[in-house]
Amino acid sequence: MHYEGNVIRPPSEADSIILQVTVGCSHNRCTFCGAYKDETFRIKDAATVEEDLAFAALYCQRQKRVFLADGDVLILPQHRLVALLTKIRKQLPWVKRVSLYGNAKAIRAKSVAQLQELKKLGLNRVYMGLESGHDPTLTAIRKGNDSGRIIEAGRRVREAGLFLSVTVLLGIGGERDSQAHAMVTGQVLSAMGPNQIGVLSLMLLPNTPLYNDAHSGRFTLPSPTGLLEELRTMVEHLSLDRVQLQSNHASNYLAINARLGRDKEQVLAMIDAALAGDVSLTPEHYRRL
Protein backbone atom coordinates (compact mmCIF):
# COMPACT_ATOMS: atom_id res chain seq x y z
CA MET A 1 0.00 0.00 0.00
CA HIS A 2 1.23 3.51 -0.83
CA TYR A 3 0.58 5.39 2.42
CA GLU A 4 1.66 9.01 2.81
CA GLY A 5 1.72 11.23 5.89
CA ASN A 6 -0.48 10.53 8.92
CA VAL A 7 -3.17 8.07 7.90
CA ILE A 8 -6.00 8.50 10.41
CA ARG A 9 -8.95 6.16 10.81
CA PRO A 10 -11.76 5.73 13.38
CA PRO A 11 -11.20 3.14 16.13
CA SER A 12 -14.00 0.98 14.72
CA GLU A 13 -12.09 0.66 11.42
CA ALA A 14 -9.06 -1.02 13.01
CA ASP A 15 -9.61 -4.24 11.07
CA SER A 16 -10.56 -2.61 7.78
CA ILE A 17 -8.61 -2.35 4.56
CA ILE A 18 -7.32 1.24 4.70
CA LEU A 19 -7.34 2.62 1.17
CA GLN A 20 -5.77 6.07 1.08
CA VAL A 21 -7.51 8.13 -1.58
CA THR A 22 -6.58 11.62 -0.41
CA VAL A 23 -3.65 13.01 1.57
CA GLY A 24 -4.47 15.34 4.45
CA CYS A 25 -7.66 17.24 5.17
CA SER A 26 -9.50 19.62 2.85
CA HIS A 27 -10.26 22.00 5.76
CA ASN A 28 -7.17 21.62 7.98
CA ARG A 29 -7.84 24.75 10.07
CA CYS A 30 -9.23 23.35 13.33
CA THR A 31 -7.21 24.75 16.23
CA PHE A 32 -7.21 21.49 18.23
CA CYS A 33 -6.15 19.07 15.48
CA GLY A 34 -2.50 18.37 14.75
CA ALA A 35 -2.98 15.42 12.42
CA TYR A 36 -2.35 17.14 9.10
CA LYS A 37 -0.55 20.39 9.95
CA ASP A 38 2.40 19.52 7.70
CA GLU A 39 0.26 18.15 4.85
CA THR A 40 -1.14 20.01 1.86
CA PHE A 41 -4.44 18.43 0.93
CA ARG A 42 -4.48 16.64 -2.39
CA ILE A 43 -6.30 13.84 -4.15
CA LYS A 44 -4.01 10.91 -4.94
CA ASP A 45 -3.62 9.95 -8.58
CA ALA A 46 -5.95 7.22 -9.80
CA ALA A 47 -3.11 4.92 -10.87
CA THR A 48 -1.69 4.72 -7.34
CA VAL A 49 -5.11 4.01 -5.86
CA GLU A 50 -5.66 1.27 -8.45
CA GLU A 51 -2.31 -0.33 -7.50
CA ASP A 52 -3.43 -0.38 -3.86
CA LEU A 53 -6.74 -1.93 -4.87
CA ALA A 54 -4.87 -4.63 -6.75
CA PHE A 55 -2.74 -5.27 -3.65
CA ALA A 56 -5.87 -5.55 -1.49
CA ALA A 57 -7.44 -7.96 -3.98
CA LEU A 58 -4.44 -10.29 -3.54
CA TYR A 59 -3.60 -9.94 0.14
CA CYS A 60 -6.66 -8.65 2.03
CA GLN A 61 -9.30 -11.24 1.27
CA ARG A 62 -10.06 -11.88 4.95
CA GLN A 63 -10.96 -8.24 5.60
CA LYS A 64 -14.63 -7.50 4.97
CA ARG A 65 -14.54 -3.71 5.33
CA VAL A 66 -12.84 -0.83 3.53
CA PHE A 67 -12.13 2.59 5.01
CA LEU A 68 -11.34 5.38 2.56
CA ALA A 69 -8.70 7.70 4.03
CA ASP A 70 -7.67 10.47 4.74
CA GLY A 71 -9.54 13.34 6.30
CA ASP A 72 -12.26 14.00 3.75
CA VAL A 73 -12.65 11.64 0.80
CA LEU A 74 -16.25 12.78 0.33
CA ILE A 75 -14.89 16.05 -1.09
CA LEU A 76 -14.06 14.17 -4.33
CA PRO A 77 -16.21 14.93 -7.37
CA GLN A 78 -19.15 12.56 -7.70
CA HIS A 79 -17.86 10.87 -10.84
CA ARG A 80 -14.59 9.93 -9.13
CA LEU A 81 -16.40 8.51 -6.10
CA VAL A 82 -18.72 6.53 -8.36
CA ALA A 83 -15.75 5.14 -10.29
CA LEU A 84 -13.87 4.27 -7.08
CA LEU A 85 -16.79 2.47 -5.45
CA THR A 86 -17.50 0.61 -8.68
CA LYS A 87 -13.90 -0.63 -8.76
CA ILE A 88 -14.03 -1.68 -5.10
CA ARG A 89 -17.20 -3.67 -5.76
CA LYS A 90 -15.65 -5.33 -8.80
CA GLN A 91 -12.17 -6.05 -7.40
CA LEU A 92 -13.08 -6.72 -3.75
CA PRO A 93 -16.46 -8.48 -4.07
CA TRP A 94 -16.24 -9.93 -0.54
CA VAL A 95 -16.25 -6.47 1.09
CA LYS A 96 -19.46 -5.82 3.03
CA ARG A 97 -18.95 -2.21 4.11
CA VAL A 98 -17.21 0.91 2.81
CA SER A 99 -16.82 3.93 5.09
CA LEU A 100 -15.23 7.38 4.98
CA TYR A 101 -14.90 10.69 6.79
CA GLY A 102 -17.12 13.53 5.59
CA ASN A 103 -17.15 17.08 6.91
CA ALA A 104 -20.33 19.16 6.81
CA LYS A 105 -19.20 21.22 3.80
CA ALA A 106 -18.46 18.13 1.71
CA ILE A 107 -21.74 16.49 2.71
CA ARG A 108 -23.78 19.57 1.83
CA ALA A 109 -22.08 19.66 -1.57
CA LYS A 110 -23.79 16.34 -2.34
CA SER A 111 -27.50 16.01 -2.95
CA VAL A 112 -29.50 13.28 -1.25
CA ALA A 113 -29.75 11.57 -4.64
CA GLN A 114 -25.96 11.62 -5.04
CA LEU A 115 -25.47 10.16 -1.56
CA GLN A 116 -28.04 7.48 -2.37
CA GLU A 117 -26.13 6.68 -5.55
CA LEU A 118 -22.98 6.15 -3.48
CA LYS A 119 -24.92 3.96 -1.06
CA LYS A 120 -26.12 1.72 -3.89
CA LEU A 121 -22.49 1.27 -4.93
CA GLY A 122 -21.43 0.13 -1.46
CA LEU A 123 -20.88 3.20 0.72
CA ASN A 124 -22.37 2.34 4.09
CA ARG A 125 -21.05 4.68 6.77
CA VAL A 126 -20.07 8.35 7.08
CA TYR A 127 -17.99 9.54 10.04
CA MET A 128 -18.50 13.20 10.83
CA GLY A 129 -16.79 15.39 13.41
CA LEU A 130 -19.26 17.66 15.19
CA GLU A 131 -16.88 18.38 18.12
CA SER A 132 -19.40 20.86 19.58
CA GLY A 133 -22.89 22.12 18.89
CA HIS A 134 -22.05 25.42 20.61
CA ASP A 135 -21.63 28.06 17.90
CA PRO A 136 -19.16 30.30 19.83
CA THR A 137 -16.99 27.23 20.38
CA LEU A 138 -17.24 26.19 16.71
CA THR A 139 -16.10 29.71 15.75
CA ALA A 140 -13.26 29.68 18.27
CA ILE A 141 -11.88 26.36 17.03
CA ARG A 142 -12.26 27.41 13.36
CA LYS A 143 -14.44 24.47 12.50
CA GLY A 144 -15.71 26.19 9.35
CA ASN A 145 -19.40 25.49 10.01
CA ASP A 146 -22.07 26.54 12.46
CA SER A 147 -24.48 24.16 14.18
CA GLY A 148 -27.28 24.79 11.67
CA ARG A 149 -25.15 23.72 8.72
CA ILE A 150 -23.87 20.70 10.60
CA ILE A 151 -27.42 19.62 11.49
CA GLU A 152 -28.39 20.00 7.82
CA ALA A 153 -25.46 17.83 6.75
CA GLY A 154 -26.22 15.15 9.31
CA ARG A 155 -29.86 14.96 8.31
CA ARG A 156 -28.89 14.68 4.65
CA VAL A 157 -26.73 11.63 5.39
CA ARG A 158 -29.57 10.00 7.32
CA GLU A 159 -32.12 10.86 4.61
CA ALA A 160 -29.92 9.06 2.11
CA GLY A 161 -30.13 5.94 4.26
CA LEU A 162 -26.46 5.96 5.26
CA PHE A 163 -25.17 5.12 8.74
CA LEU A 164 -24.07 8.35 10.48
CA SER A 165 -21.38 8.25 13.16
CA VAL A 166 -20.77 11.61 14.86
CA THR A 167 -17.80 12.52 17.05
CA VAL A 168 -17.96 15.02 19.90
CA LEU A 169 -15.08 16.39 21.96
CA LEU A 170 -15.32 16.90 25.71
CA GLY A 171 -13.38 19.94 26.91
CA ILE A 172 -13.28 21.77 23.59
CA GLY A 173 -15.32 24.68 24.98
CA GLY A 174 -12.73 25.26 27.68
CA GLU A 175 -13.51 25.81 31.32
CA ARG A 176 -15.48 28.98 30.61
CA ASP A 177 -17.99 27.47 28.18
CA SER A 178 -17.86 23.90 29.48
CA GLN A 179 -21.51 23.49 30.42
CA ALA A 180 -22.88 25.57 27.54
CA HIS A 181 -20.88 23.44 25.10
CA ALA A 182 -22.15 20.22 26.67
CA MET A 183 -25.81 21.22 26.82
CA VAL A 184 -26.05 22.56 23.27
CA THR A 185 -24.04 19.64 21.89
CA GLY A 186 -26.64 17.25 23.32
CA GLN A 187 -29.40 19.30 21.69
CA VAL A 188 -27.64 19.45 18.30
CA LEU A 189 -27.00 15.71 18.33
CA SER A 190 -30.69 15.19 19.02
CA ALA A 191 -31.54 17.34 15.99
CA MET A 192 -29.11 15.41 13.76
CA GLY A 193 -30.30 11.94 14.73
CA PRO A 194 -27.05 9.96 14.25
CA ASN A 195 -26.84 6.19 14.53
CA GLN A 196 -23.71 6.40 16.66
CA ILE A 197 -22.09 9.02 18.90
CA GLY A 198 -18.39 8.73 19.62
CA VAL A 199 -17.16 10.73 22.60
CA LEU A 200 -13.51 11.79 22.87
CA SER A 201 -11.80 13.99 25.42
CA LEU A 202 -9.59 16.86 24.30
CA MET A 203 -5.87 16.23 24.60
CA LEU A 204 -3.75 19.27 23.78
CA LEU A 205 -1.13 18.65 21.09
CA PRO A 206 2.05 20.77 20.94
CA ASN A 207 1.72 21.49 17.21
CA THR A 208 -1.71 23.13 17.52
CA PRO A 209 -2.92 26.71 18.10
CA LEU A 210 -5.10 25.53 21.00
CA TYR A 211 -2.02 24.17 22.80
CA ASN A 212 -0.41 27.61 22.49
CA ASP A 213 -3.60 29.25 23.77
CA ALA A 214 -3.57 26.97 26.80
CA HIS A 215 0.06 27.77 27.61
CA SER A 216 -0.54 31.50 27.30
CA GLY A 217 -3.63 31.38 29.52
CA ARG A 218 -6.17 32.12 26.78
CA PHE A 219 -7.70 28.64 27.11
CA THR A 220 -8.19 26.46 30.18
CA LEU A 221 -8.91 22.78 29.80
CA PRO A 222 -11.55 21.50 32.25
CA SER A 223 -10.40 19.10 34.95
CA PRO A 224 -11.25 15.38 34.76
CA THR A 225 -14.23 16.13 36.99
CA GLY A 226 -15.26 18.93 34.65
CA LEU A 227 -15.08 16.60 31.66
CA LEU A 228 -17.31 14.07 33.44
CA GLU A 229 -19.77 16.82 34.26
CA GLU A 230 -19.79 17.77 30.57
CA LEU A 231 -20.50 14.17 29.62
CA ARG A 232 -23.39 14.05 32.08
CA THR A 233 -24.91 17.28 30.81
CA MET A 234 -24.59 16.17 27.20
CA VAL A 235 -26.27 12.82 27.88
CA GLU A 236 -28.98 14.54 29.92
CA HIS A 237 -29.84 16.71 26.89
CA LEU A 238 -29.86 13.86 24.38
CA SER A 239 -33.36 13.02 23.17
CA LEU A 240 -32.84 10.04 20.88
CA ASP A 241 -34.61 6.70 20.93
CA ARG A 242 -32.03 4.58 19.12
CA VAL A 243 -28.39 5.66 19.15
CA GLN A 244 -25.21 3.93 20.25
CA LEU A 245 -23.23 6.09 22.69
CA GLN A 246 -19.57 5.19 23.06
CA SER A 247 -17.00 6.92 25.23
CA ASN A 248 -14.57 4.01 25.11
CA HIS A 249 -11.91 5.92 23.18
CA ALA A 250 -8.51 5.87 24.89
CA SER A 251 -8.63 9.63 25.52
CA ASN A 252 -11.55 9.32 27.95
CA TYR A 253 -11.51 8.94 31.71
CA LEU A 254 -14.70 6.84 31.78
CA ALA A 255 -15.56 4.15 29.24
CA ILE A 256 -19.24 3.82 28.30
CA ASN A 257 -20.87 1.70 25.61
CA ALA A 258 -24.65 2.03 25.76
CA ARG A 259 -27.85 2.26 23.74
CA LEU A 260 -29.93 5.40 24.22
CA GLY A 261 -32.61 6.05 25.17
CA ARG A 262 -32.94 2.52 26.64
CA ASP A 263 -29.86 2.89 28.86
CA LYS A 264 -29.97 6.63 29.53
CA GLU A 265 -30.74 6.44 33.26
CA GLN A 266 -28.07 3.77 33.78
CA VAL A 267 -25.51 5.93 31.96
CA LEU A 268 -26.33 8.95 34.09
CA ALA A 269 -26.09 6.82 37.22
CA MET A 270 -22.68 5.51 36.13
CA ILE A 271 -21.38 9.04 35.56
CA ASP A 272 -22.74 10.12 38.95
CA ALA A 273 -20.94 7.17 40.56
CA ALA A 274 -17.70 8.22 38.86
CA LEU A 275 -18.17 11.82 40.05
CA ALA A 276 -18.71 10.51 43.59
CA GLY A 277 -15.49 8.48 43.42
CA ASP A 278 -17.24 5.10 43.42
CA VAL A 279 -16.03 4.18 39.92
CA SER A 280 -12.34 4.26 39.01
CA LEU A 281 -11.25 6.56 36.19
CA THR A 282 -8.66 5.75 33.54
CA PRO A 283 -5.21 6.73 34.89
CA GLU A 284 -3.63 9.68 33.11
CA HIS A 285 -0.70 7.65 31.77
CA TYR A 286 -3.07 5.29 29.95
CA ARG A 287 -4.85 8.03 28.02
CA ARG A 288 -4.00 8.28 24.32
CA LEU A 289 -5.33 9.83 21.14
| Domain around 254 | 11-286
pLDDT tens-digit map of 187-242: 999 999 999 999 999 999 999 999 999 999 999 999 999 999 999 999 999 999 99
Share of the chain above pLDDT 90, in %: 93
Task: Summarize the confidence of residues 84-101 as an average pLDDT.
Answer: 97
Q: What is the pLDDT of residue 37?
A: 84
Q: Which pLDDT band holds residue 128 (cuts at 50, 70, 90)?
A: very high
Name the pLDDT band for 5 (thresholds 50, 70, 90): confident
- Indicate whether 25 belongs to any domain: yes
Whether the CB-CB separation of 101 and 147 falls below 8 Å is answered with: no
Please enumerate in sequence order all residues whose Cβ is within 8 A of that of 123, keeping only pairs 6 or more positions apart, or say none: 81, 85, 98, 99, 100, 115, 162
pLDDT at 118: 98
Which tens digit of pLDDT belongs to each residue from 244-271? 999 989 999 999 999 999 999 999 999 9
pLDDT > 90? residue 39? no
Measured CA to CA, the distance from residue 10 to residue 257 in angstroms comes to: 16
103 and 110 Cβ atoms separated by less than 8 Å = no
> How large is the average pLDDT for residues 84-107?
97
Within-domain flag for 45: yes
What local confidence, expressed as pLDDT, does residue 71 receive? 82
pLDDT of residue 130: 98
Determine the pLDDT at residue 204.
97
As a whole number of angstroms, the distance between CA 286 and CA 250 comes to 7
The pLDDT of residue 86 is 98
CATH number at residue 17: 3.20.20.70
Is 2 in contact with 52 (CB distance < 8 Å)? yes
- ∠ CA 109-113-116, nearest 5°, is 105
Q: Which pLDDT value is given to residue 6?
A: 85
Q: Is residue 4 part of a domain?
A: no
Condensed to tens digits (0 to 9), the pLDDT of residues 49-77 reads: 999 999 999 999 999 999 999 888 999 99
| Dihedral of alpha carbons 33, 34, 35, 36, sign | positive
- Spell out the SS3 assignment of the chain: CCCCCCCCCCHHHCCCEEEECEECCCCCCCCCCCCCCCCCCEECCHHHHHHHHHHHHHHCCCCCEEEEECCCHHHCCHHHHHHHHHHHHHHCCCCCEEEEECCHHHHHCCCHHHHHHHHHCCEEEEEEEEECCCHHHHHHCCCCCCHHHHHHHHHHHHHCCCEEEEEEEECCCCCCCHHHHHHHHHHHHHHHCCCEEEEEECCCCCCCHHHHHHHCCCCCCCCHHHHHHHHHHHHHCCCCCEEEEECCCCCCCCCCEEEEECCHHHHHHHHHHHHCCCCCCCCHHHCCC
What's the pLDDT at 109? 96
In a domain, 3, yes or no: no
What mean pLDDT value characterizes the chain?
96
Residue 20 lies in a domain: yes
* Domain assignment of residue 2, yes or no: no
The answer to whether 54 and 60 are in contact (CB under 8 A) is: no
> What pLDDT, on a 0 to 100 scale, did the predictor assign at position 289?
85
When pLDDT is cut at 50, 70 and 90, the band that residue 107 belongs to is very high
Is the full-model pTM beyond 0.85?
A: yes
| Gyration radius from the chain CA atoms | 19
Higher pLDDT, 36 or 265: 265
Q: CA 52, CA 93: separation in Å to the nearest integer? A: 15
Judging by DSSP bridges, how do beta strands 42-43 and 22-23 pair with one another?
antiparallel
Residue 1 lies in a domain: no
What is the band of 145 on the pLDDT scale with cuts at 50, 70, 90? Answer: very high
Q: Is the pLDDT of residue 176 over 90?
A: yes
pLDDT given at position 72 = 86
Q: What's the structural domain count of the chain?
A: 1
- Portion of the chain with pLDDT greater than 70, in percent: 100
The reply to whether 75 falls in a domain is yes
Q: Check whether 11 has a pLDDT greater than 90.
A: no
Asked whether 107 and 157 are in contact (CB, 8 A), the reply is yes
